[in-house]
Structure 1
Amino acid sequence: MKYFFATCATFLFLTGSVFSQTKTLTHKVEKGETITQIAQKYQVTPFDIYQLNPDAQTGLRADSVLLIPAKSDGKSILTSSKPATVSTVASAAVAGTTHLVMPKETLYGIKKQYNVSEQALIEANPEILVDGLKIGMLLKIPSKGAVKDDVKVTTRKQEKAIKKAEETAVYHDVLPKETKYSISRQYGITIEQLEKLNPEVVTNLPIGYKLLIKGKRSAVIDSKVITAPTDVYKEAKTNAVVKDSVPQYIAYEVQPKETLYSLSKMFDISQRELLELNPELNAGVTIGMFIKAPTKNYVAAVEGKKEYVSLNKNIAVGKRKRLAMLLPFNVSAADEDVNASGYSRLKKDKFLNMTLDFYAGALIAIDSAKTLGLPIDVEIYDSEETKNSSNVLSLIKANNLQTANAIVGPFYQSNAEVAAQALVENNVPVVSPLSKDVGNAYPNLYQSIPNNEIVKNTMFNYMRSQNGNIMAVVDKKKESILSYLREYQPGVPLVAFKDNGSVSAESLKGMLVKGRMNYVVMETANTWMIKTTISAMLSSMSSYQLQLVILEPNETLDFEEIKFTNLTKLKLMYPSVTRDNVSPEAAIFDKNYKKINNVYPSDYATRGFDVTFDTMMRLVQNVKFEQTIKTVATDRIENKFEYYKKNDGGYTNKGVHIMYYDTDLIIKEAK
């Protein structure tokens, strides 16, 4: 997905003639400042600032410069880039509105969109004759001197509704390093309440996002109440009728196999609305063309939850791709150890064993790519790395890896960051294959293993998606789990313990709800606590639906004292980065791997195949690597790859399996 909003400097250059007759000021953004604070400082509305600085809608950056409208005479004209057939501000219908020029737009398409003549557009925007129509131009859309029939003036009842929304709604602008937990604590609400009011932040929390804390984002449209930012109405005339007052659009690049129907479904708008936004689509949908689409719906459709698909059908032909793998064989260290034979080193060096397993799996992926005829060349280098050192920089320089299409490795997070930093200007993707560390963010760094927080969050998201009633049994010694629950799941109640350390059956049963699945999250290594928790759950199964859940691997559950049949009765469920059951694809891989290596693959070997094969398949698509990351999730032999862009930069994988013990004694994946 490519965003074509210009930077502030470019925007000022392109639109200088548009604002030549309007007095404006400039403001240098300070660290931590919000749009609301800046608007209050200059006595304008946030909407006024967004109109002159559309890129500011995605967040503010320290030291960037904003164009600020000089304070008017008290009147505020609200404008919209929606088609003229949609209700707009009554006063704007007289004074005219504006339109931000998107990629591939034409003068013909714009005049049809607003139902005005080409001559009227040129008279209102004489710079078109000098510079032509350019991306980023803010065009004045001339009015016809009268309000259309479909533009309605608010009634007294509508005015009261707007006023009430202004008075009761409370907002919070998200600052850097703030979390949902810290914000919910600040306002005395739960994270669940916060997400219910702001469904767009369920998967992430963008800096600068305006969170609704209390009340409703409401505006009166055609005698109906809809969601819309309340800030738009500050200083607005009481006779203004607003619809989509702060339009946010993206320029979306059409992908192979996409149709008008599929695009309308993706952005959750009708085909007619899509054609109104993009008149050129009347001539057909063409791969590579850019269309205008609503940002909010795109985020919900694509970034909110990606579709798991196969990449096999879209293999590009032509130029070959170059993949480099930086793996820590540490051959030089082995050469220095003159007293160690190869066998003895393998026996004692677990890190080398892990590397060789990963390498063996990667070799099968490379062989599979050759069989498929993928146009890709693979180079493998010894990264000679420890946790605090490597020869990554010298490898990049000596082998001109700036021209590579992607890098897999190194293994250690710190070394992967070194590679990403060295290649960031060339935008070469660096896939970190094994690290769970969050680390420093680089825009070209892809964390392929979900971190512990993501794994746990996925489990809770699944339970909530099933309308589950959640409670937790947590040992006081499990400080990390208690800390996690306090920060990320503060609404989950804790079951009480008795003085002897056993679980209070009365406390647990008092939290159960009929008609819903009751999920009991159990985190303890204490055998007695486990047994009493299981006993309390089993005794309640005749009246309630119950399922036992763990968030982390628990070796105590393997002890003979804990009956396996009880775990299957309670359908023990847990989140896992790898798929723990044997799929048909896994059976084929296991067989081939054993045939080559005389042993069955370890988790590292399977991961070596999954990471390498997934990276190669993304490289050879007929769109850019990053585009496949943004739009497509994949499910390999044991690992899922569902990447999302992090707030601070780079990408993280949120592909987690939800596994459970079924009553037929088979581990299955929850769907």
Structure 2
Amino acid sequence: MFKKGIYIVVLMFATSVLAQNYTKHKVAKGETITQIAQKYKVTPYDIYKLNPDSQSGIQPDAILLIPKSIEKEVKNDEVKTASAKIHEVQPKETLYSISKEYKVSIEELEEENPFLKTDGLQPGQKLTIPSEFKFVIHKAKIRTTHEVVAGDTKYSISKKYGISVEELEKQNPEIKDNLPVGFKLKINSSEKAVTTADVVKPKTEAYQGNTLEYTVKSGETMYSLTKLLGLSEASLIGLNPSLKEGVKEGMILKVPATLSFSKETKNSLKDLTKSISNQKRKELVLFLPFNASKIQNDTVTSISERLKKDKFLNMTLDFYAGALMAIDSAKVLGMNLDIKIYDSQETKNSTSALSVISNNDFSSTDAVIGPFYQVNVEKVADALENKNIPVISPLSRDEGKSYKNLFQSMPHADAVKGAMFSYMQSKNGNIIAVIDPKKTSIKEYIQDFQKDVKVVGVTDKGGFVADSIKKHFVKDRINYVVMASEKTGTIFTTTSAMSSVMKDYQVQLVILEPNETLDFEEIALSRLTKLKMAYPSATKDNDSDEAQKFERAFKKKNKILPNQYAVRGFDLTFDTMLRLAQDKPFEESINDDATEQVESKFDYAKKISGGYTNNGIYILYYDEDLTIKQVQ
């Protein structure tokens, strides 16, 4: 149909089957989205949600789906309406007073009501008031039980059910002194909404350090193995004591299942926009879980209420909005691509994607993004493996089955930890770890794969002697202290011990995963910046001109700032399209080119178990000027 450019086919998209819940509106000549929204007492955002194409303009006689306005009062356990508020301007009112009354900015008022910029504020005008985030969820109290499993901590359980550790102990006095595996806790908590954490994170804190076998080849030495596998000699021998007798051809070694073959670090990130080739048309398929049939068959819950309650659907729509921005960018660059979007209709254990593959021609498909759940993306990879079609997992961090055509775009948790240790070792660092006994995941990871680390014991109550850290410090090397504890006392003792020796030793604080305790005001930010606290991350904040340009464009199109899932949708889709648009095979680009988009880096490496994993990880630190920076 087109020789060049982007051709988009959207199949089985959710909003195409929802008309029965909405009013149809025929656009009159000269009408704007804002005027239509005011007429039906909804927001422009509500209309854009159901009519994505309208974001690029509306034409006379076009038919729009308009959500029915909900104007009832709600109780604490209900969801507030997402419909627009209409405010009639009174004499002596100002934009400032109205913005304060509704807790919105003057800029947002002017965006929702464009006539204000030309006509000014006049008594009698009816203004559309944008809601802060379109909806508010109030949590309802529920009663449940939780059986303690290995790796559970009071902190992790309290976070799961939205209560404090103190409240957990109050409801279950038996666990004040210990937390026995198998004990059934009685919990009265706020209702836990389904979040993307249920999709992208492991379900337990327990370390999932599975291993696989690697056969030693002719000519390989201890040195070459440590370089190839990215493990220290001590860690490799710890996993394989037989190596103490020397390396022999044919030896079968245990190595971490998540390991990728180490390769030379790429000297720089490549800008693939400068090497686009349009000689051959490429096809990209996206499987996104709109779950249209589920919504269509729900005769009880209105679509607007579902959008307020269904976190998974909102995540999907955010990712989709980001992907559409990537497609727009590809159009501007003139990429020669076909884009097909299918509804993957997912649950945690099932998907319609296999049926889509069976009933459609995938012979021209060059790459697939999705589905979201790891088990489902593995099914798709299995179905397309014999066709050598790359299948990219967009969000999951899980380590599941390996397929030669499966690309994990989110770095695995072990890879994130490993990147931090690799950085510290590259600086010839002396590494000391302060580990809470209940941090079993980190403790076992270090015991298995970071044998050179000196571990400082912490009591069950979180205490330890400060001198137990100091005795491990050495001069003429930087001393990294890895702190794995959420206990305030341990944090204060660790940071105080480090601060007290800064005149005599080089020290730097390190954490391996997010630590909510550090966000509390009780822990002064200056305490962390003084020690230049460092941490590994799969994403970074980006305030570059290009990133700000993306943010402004997204807000202009969607009337809201992009969240992490919208940015992820853009980054992954745009990066995949750019790799398809090169004058070489997709897999060759994967092997050759490390890239960076708005918030994510894509540096794929071949896994020993098969397929590819993304080792694009940032090492960030808190600088003394109170900003977060990337290490050089």
CA deviation after TM superposition for structure 1 residue 316, in Å: 1.7
Q: How many corresponding residue pairs? A: 404
Aligned-CA RMSD value: 2.8
Query: Residue in 1 aligned with 2:307?
Result: 346
Is 1:429 aligned to residue 390 of structure 2?
Answer: yes
Is 1:397 aligned to residue 376 of structure 2?
Answer: no
User: Of 541, 548, 557, which aligns to 1:596?
Assistant: 557
User: Of 580, 592, 597, which aligns to 2:541?
Assistant: 580
CA deviation after TM superposition for structure 1 residue 560, in Å: 1.6
CA deviation after TM superposition for structure 1 residue 422, in Å: 0.8
Is 1:177 aligned to residue 212 of structure 2?
Answer: yes
CA deviation after TM superposition for structure 1 residue 502, in Å: 2.4
CA deviation after TM superposition for structure 1 residue 596, in Å: 1.1
CA deviation after TM superposition for structure 1 residue 497, in Å: 3.8
Query: Residue in 1 aligned with 2:568?
Result: 607
CA deviation after TM superposition for structure 1 residue 445, in Å: 0.6
Is the Cα contact below 8 Å between 1:549 and 1:573 reproduced in 2?
yes
User: Of 497, 507, 510, which aligns to 1:536?
Assistant: 497
Query: Residue in 1 aligned with 2:448?
Result: 487
Residue aligned with 1:546, SS: strand
Query: Residue in 1 aligned with 2:323?
Result: 362
Query: Residue in 2 aligned with 1:559?
Result: 520
2 CA distance for matches of 1:404 and 1:517?
Answer: 51
Query: Residue in 2 aligned with 1:202?
Result: 230
2 CA distance for matches of 1:624 and 1:421?
Answer: 21
Is the Cα contact below 8 Å between 1:456 and 1:575 reproduced in 2?
yes
1 CA distance for matches of 2:317 and 2:631?
Answer: 32
Is the Cα contact below 8 Å between 1:197 and 1:212 reproduced in 2?
no
Deviating beyond 6 angstroms after TM superposition, the runs of 4 or more aligned structure 1 residues are: none
Is the Cα contact below 8 Å between 1:327 and 1:382 reproduced in 2?
yes
1 CA distance for matches of 2:275 and 2:387?
Answer: 25
CA deviation after TM superposition for structure 1 residue 594, in Å: 1.0
1 CA distance for matches of 2:300 and 2:363?
Answer: 38
Query: Residue in 1 aligned with 2:478?
Result: 517
CA deviation after TM superposition for structure 1 residue 409, in Å: 0.6
CA deviation after TM superposition for structure 1 residue 381, in Å: 0.8
2 CA distance for matches of 1:561 and 1:179?
Answer: 48
2 CA distance for matches of 1:427 and 1:449?
Answer: 21
In structure 1, what residue type is equivalent to 2:285? A
CA deviation after TM superposition for structure 1 residue 495, in Å: 1.7
Query: Residue in 1 aligned with 2:298?
Result: 337
Taking the TM superposition and a 5 Å limit, the aligned residue runs for 1:110-189 are 177-178=212-213
1 CA distance for matches of 2:231 and 2:307?
Answer: 43
Is the Cα contact below 8 Å between 1:496 and 1:504 reproduced in 2?
no
Pick closer, same or farther for the CA change 1:626–1:179 going to 2, 3 Å. Answer: closer
1 CA distance for matches of 2:318 and 2:341?
Answer: 15
Is the Cα contact below 8 Å between 2:512 and 2:535 reproduced in 1?
yes
Is 1:460 aligned to residue 421 of structure 2?
Answer: yes
1 CA distance for matches of 2:571 and 2:461?
Answer: 48
RCO higher in structure (CA 8 A, sep ≥6): 2
CA deviation after TM superposition for structure 1 residue 304, in Å: 5.5
In structure 2, what residue type is equivalent to 1:635? E
2 CA distance for matches of 1:460 and 1:453?
Answer: 11
Pick closer, same or farther for the CA change 1:390–1:200 going to 2, 3 Å. Answer: closer
Is the Cα contact below 8 Å between 1:523 and 1:551 reproduced in 2?
yes
Pick closer, same or farther for the CA change 1:548–1:195 going to 2, 3 Å. Answer: farther
In structure 2, what residue type is equivalent to 1:649? G
Residue aligned with 1:437, SS: coil
- Unmatched runs of 5 consecutive residues or more in structure 2: 1-209, 251-260
Query: Residue in 1 aligned with 2:374?
Result: 413
CA deviation after TM superposition for structure 1 residue 496, in Å: 3.5
Residue aligned with 1:381, SS: strand
1 CA distance for matches of 2:350 and 2:460?
Answer: 51
2 CA distance for matches of 1:473 and 1:439?
Answer: 30
Residue aligned with 1:644, SS: strand
Query: TM-score, normalised on structure 1?
Result: 0.57
Which of structures 1 and 2 has the bigger CA Rg? 1
Please list the CA deviations of residues 467-487 of structure 1 after superposition, one character each: whole Å capped at 9, or x if unmatched: 111000110011111111111
Query: Residue in 1 aligned with 2:598?
Result: 637
CA deviation after TM superposition for structure 1 residue 499, in Å: 8.4
Residue aligned with 1:659, SS: strand
User: Of 593, 604, 608, which aligns to 1:647?
Assistant: 608
Query: Residue in 2 aligned with 1:264?
Result: none
Pick closer, same or farther for the CA change 1:652–1:215 going to 2, 3 Å. Answer: same
User: Of 400, 403, 412, which aligns to 1:439?
Assistant: 400
Please list the CA deviations of residues 227-256 of structure 1 after superposition, one character each: whole Å capped at 9, or x if unmatched: xx999xxxxxxxxxxxxxxxxxxxxxxxxx
527-536 or 311-320, larger mean C-alpha shift = 311-320
In structure 2, what residue type is equivalent to 1:177? L
Residue aligned with 1:326, SS: strand
In structure 2, what residue type is equivalent to 1:332? S
Pick closer, same or farther for the CA change 1:388–1:534 going to 2, 3 Å. Answer: same
Residue aligned with 1:442, SS: coil
Please list the CA deviations of residues 308-363 of structure 1 after superposition, one character each: whole Å capped at 9, or x if unmatched: 21112222222211111000000110011111112211111110111011000000
1 CA distance for matches of 2:463 and 2:503?
Answer: 22
In structure 2, what residue type is equivalent to 1:201? L
Is the Cα contact below 8 Å between 1:198 and 1:211 reproduced in 2?
no
1 CA distance for matches of 2:403 and 2:579?
Answer: 20
Taking the TM superposition and a 5 Å limit, the aligned residue runs for 1:7-156 are none
Please list the CA deviations of residues 33-70 of structure 1 after superposition, one character each: whole Å capped at 9, or x if unmatched: xxxxxxxxxxxxxxxxxxxxxxxxxxxxxxxxxxxxxx
